[in-house]
Amino acid sequence: MPDSHGMQPAPGSDDPRGAIDAPIRRELLWLVVRGLALFIAVAALAVCPVVCALEPATCDALAMAAPALLVGYSLLVHGRRLVVGPVPEDQRELAWVRAREADADDAMLGRLVWIWVPIGLVAALLLLVWPHITDANPALACAWVVIGLPPTAAAWLLASSTWLDSARDDLARAELESDHLFRSYWANLGR
Protein backbone atom coordinates (compact mmCIF):
# COMPACT_ATOMS: atom_id res chain seq x y z
CA MET A 1 0.00 0.00 0.00
CA PRO A 2 1.45 3.41 -0.91
CA ASP A 3 2.36 5.74 1.91
CA SER A 4 1.97 9.52 2.16
CA HIS A 5 4.78 10.04 -0.35
CA GLY A 6 3.28 7.64 -2.89
CA MET A 7 6.00 5.08 -2.14
CA GLN A 8 5.28 1.40 -2.27
CA PRO A 9 7.89 -0.82 -0.67
CA ALA A 10 9.33 -3.43 -2.98
CA PRO A 11 8.78 -7.04 -1.93
CA GLY A 12 11.62 -8.27 0.26
CA SER A 13 13.21 -4.82 0.64
CA ASP A 14 13.61 -2.69 3.72
CA ASP A 15 10.78 -0.21 4.10
CA PRO A 16 12.29 3.33 3.99
CA ARG A 17 9.19 5.03 5.36
CA GLY A 18 10.44 4.94 8.95
CA ALA A 19 13.62 6.81 8.10
CA ILE A 20 11.83 9.24 5.81
CA ASP A 21 9.13 10.07 8.35
CA ALA A 22 11.62 10.23 11.27
CA PRO A 23 12.05 14.05 11.12
CA ILE A 24 8.28 14.52 11.40
CA ARG A 25 7.98 12.10 14.31
CA ARG A 26 10.96 13.74 16.03
CA GLU A 27 9.43 17.20 15.63
CA LEU A 28 6.07 15.99 16.98
CA LEU A 29 7.88 14.65 20.06
CA TRP A 30 9.78 17.93 20.55
CA LEU A 31 6.58 19.89 20.09
CA VAL A 32 5.03 17.98 23.01
CA VAL A 33 8.17 18.38 25.14
CA ARG A 34 8.47 22.14 24.44
CA GLY A 35 4.77 22.74 25.06
CA LEU A 36 4.78 20.88 28.36
CA ALA A 37 7.99 22.61 29.47
CA LEU A 38 6.54 26.04 28.74
CA PHE A 39 3.31 25.25 30.58
CA ILE A 40 5.10 23.65 33.55
CA ALA A 41 7.40 26.66 33.95
CA VAL A 42 4.47 29.09 34.13
CA ALA A 43 2.33 26.71 36.21
CA ALA A 44 5.18 26.34 38.73
CA LEU A 45 5.28 30.11 39.14
CA ALA A 46 1.50 30.13 39.58
CA VAL A 47 1.35 27.29 42.09
CA CYS A 48 4.31 28.43 44.20
CA PRO A 49 2.39 31.18 46.06
CA VAL A 50 -0.51 28.80 46.68
CA VAL A 51 1.65 25.97 48.03
CA CYS A 52 4.32 27.97 49.85
CA ALA A 53 3.62 30.67 52.38
CA LEU A 54 5.34 33.59 50.67
CA GLU A 55 5.58 37.23 51.56
CA PRO A 56 3.41 39.61 49.51
CA ALA A 57 6.45 41.14 47.81
CA THR A 58 7.58 37.68 46.65
CA CYS A 59 4.09 36.93 45.33
CA ASP A 60 4.16 40.22 43.42
CA ALA A 61 7.55 39.33 41.95
CA LEU A 62 6.30 35.90 40.86
CA ALA A 63 3.21 37.46 39.30
CA MET A 64 5.44 39.66 37.14
CA ALA A 65 8.02 36.92 36.50
CA ALA A 66 5.51 34.84 34.53
CA PRO A 67 4.87 37.52 31.88
CA ALA A 68 8.63 38.17 31.73
CA LEU A 69 9.18 34.44 31.15
CA LEU A 70 6.61 34.42 28.35
CA VAL A 71 8.13 37.50 26.69
CA GLY A 72 11.59 35.95 26.99
CA TYR A 73 10.32 32.73 25.40
CA SER A 74 8.76 34.71 22.55
CA LEU A 75 11.92 36.72 21.93
CA LEU A 76 14.07 33.58 21.83
CA VAL A 77 11.72 31.85 19.39
CA HIS A 78 11.46 34.91 17.14
CA GLY A 79 15.25 35.29 17.19
CA ARG A 80 15.64 31.67 16.18
CA ARG A 81 13.09 32.10 13.41
CA LEU A 82 15.05 35.09 12.08
CA VAL A 83 18.21 33.00 11.95
CA VAL A 84 16.58 29.91 10.42
CA GLY A 85 14.46 31.82 7.93
CA PRO A 86 10.83 31.66 6.89
CA VAL A 87 8.90 28.57 5.86
CA PRO A 88 6.88 28.63 2.63
CA GLU A 89 3.23 29.40 3.35
CA ASP A 90 1.97 26.33 1.47
CA GLN A 91 4.12 24.13 3.72
CA ARG A 92 2.74 25.82 6.84
CA GLU A 93 -0.85 25.28 5.73
CA LEU A 94 -0.33 21.55 5.21
CA ALA A 95 1.85 20.95 8.28
CA TRP A 96 -0.76 19.16 10.39
CA VAL A 97 -2.22 17.23 7.46
CA ARG A 98 1.19 15.85 6.50
CA ALA A 99 2.02 15.09 10.13
CA ARG A 100 -1.19 13.07 10.40
CA GLU A 101 -0.21 11.15 7.26
CA ALA A 102 3.20 10.34 8.75
CA ASP A 103 1.91 9.27 12.18
CA ALA A 104 -1.73 9.79 13.07
CA ASP A 105 -1.37 9.08 16.81
CA ASP A 106 1.65 11.33 17.38
CA ALA A 107 0.02 14.04 15.27
CA MET A 108 -3.13 13.85 17.39
CA LEU A 109 -1.12 14.16 20.61
CA GLY A 110 0.93 17.00 19.13
CA ARG A 111 -2.19 18.81 18.01
CA LEU A 112 -3.78 18.45 21.46
CA VAL A 113 -0.68 19.88 23.14
CA TRP A 114 -0.51 22.61 20.46
CA ILE A 115 -4.08 23.67 21.28
CA TRP A 116 -3.96 23.21 25.06
CA VAL A 117 -0.73 25.10 25.78
CA PRO A 118 -2.34 28.56 25.33
CA ILE A 119 -5.35 27.45 27.37
CA GLY A 120 -3.10 26.11 30.15
CA LEU A 121 -1.04 29.29 30.10
CA VAL A 122 -4.08 31.51 30.53
CA ALA A 123 -5.32 29.33 33.39
CA ALA A 124 -1.93 29.48 35.13
CA LEU A 125 -1.71 33.25 34.66
CA LEU A 126 -5.22 33.73 36.05
CA LEU A 127 -4.29 31.62 39.07
CA LEU A 128 -1.22 33.81 39.51
CA VAL A 129 -2.93 37.21 39.29
CA TRP A 130 -6.29 36.30 40.90
CA PRO A 131 -5.15 36.97 44.49
CA HIS A 132 -3.84 40.36 43.40
CA ILE A 133 -6.92 41.54 41.51
CA THR A 134 -9.19 40.36 44.34
CA ASP A 135 -7.06 41.92 47.07
CA ALA A 136 -8.96 43.17 50.14
CA ASN A 137 -7.34 46.57 49.66
CA PRO A 138 -9.31 48.17 46.79
CA ALA A 139 -6.40 50.43 45.82
CA LEU A 140 -4.07 47.46 45.37
CA ALA A 141 -6.71 45.48 43.49
CA CYS A 142 -7.37 48.43 41.19
CA ALA A 143 -3.64 48.93 40.64
CA TRP A 144 -3.25 45.30 39.62
CA VAL A 145 -6.20 45.51 37.25
CA VAL A 146 -4.87 48.69 35.63
CA ILE A 147 -1.10 48.10 35.79
CA GLY A 148 -0.57 44.36 36.25
CA LEU A 149 -3.23 42.77 34.08
CA PRO A 150 -2.48 44.45 30.71
CA PRO A 151 1.18 43.32 30.53
CA THR A 152 0.17 39.85 31.66
CA ALA A 153 -2.52 39.64 28.96
CA ALA A 154 -0.13 41.04 26.34
CA ALA A 155 2.57 38.53 27.32
CA TRP A 156 0.05 35.67 27.08
CA LEU A 157 -1.13 36.87 23.67
CA LEU A 158 2.44 37.20 22.39
CA ALA A 159 3.55 33.82 23.77
CA SER A 160 0.42 32.02 22.54
CA SER A 161 0.68 33.36 19.00
CA THR A 162 4.42 32.64 19.00
CA TRP A 163 3.78 29.11 20.25
CA LEU A 164 1.11 28.37 17.65
CA ASP A 165 3.11 29.82 14.74
CA SER A 166 6.50 28.39 15.68
CA ALA A 167 5.15 24.89 16.28
CA ARG A 168 3.58 24.85 12.83
CA ASP A 169 6.75 26.32 11.27
CA ASP A 170 8.97 23.72 12.93
CA LEU A 171 6.65 20.95 11.82
CA ALA A 172 6.71 22.29 8.25
CA ARG A 173 10.54 22.37 8.39
CA ALA A 174 10.57 18.73 9.53
CA GLU A 175 8.31 17.87 6.60
CA LEU A 176 10.69 19.64 4.20
CA GLU A 177 13.52 17.55 5.68
CA SER A 178 11.38 14.44 5.19
CA ASP A 179 10.80 15.41 1.55
CA HIS A 180 14.55 15.85 1.11
CA LEU A 181 15.16 12.37 2.55
CA PHE A 182 12.48 10.95 0.24
CA ARG A 183 14.07 12.51 -2.85
CA SER A 184 17.54 11.46 -1.71
CA TYR A 185 16.36 7.89 -1.20
CA TRP A 186 14.94 7.62 -4.71
CA ALA A 187 17.90 9.45 -6.29
CA ASN A 188 20.36 6.99 -4.69
CA LEU A 189 18.25 3.83 -5.03
CA GLY A 190 20.23 2.29 -7.88
CA ARG A 191 23.66 3.17 -6.55
Residue 62, pLDDT score = 84
Measured CA to CA, the distance from residue 183 to residue 136 in angstroms comes to: 65
Q: Is the pLDDT assigned to residue 50 strictly greater than 90?
A: no
Q: What percent of the chain has pLDDT over 90?
A: 39
Taking the model in full, what pTM does it have? Answer: 0.79
The answer to whether 172 and 91 are in contact (CB under 8 A) is yes
* Ranges of H-type helices in the chain: 17-51, 56-84, 89-93, 95-102, 104-133, 138-143, 149-187
Each domain of the chain, given as residue ranges in start order, spans 24-181
Return the closest-CA partner of residue 41 out of 180, 187, 171, 163: 163
Whole-number Cα distances in Å, 78 to 51, 85, 147, 164: 34, 10, 26, 12
pLDDT value of position 9: 43
The pLDDT confidence band at residue 115, using thresholds 50, 70 and 90, is very high
Mean pLDDT of 118-133: 91
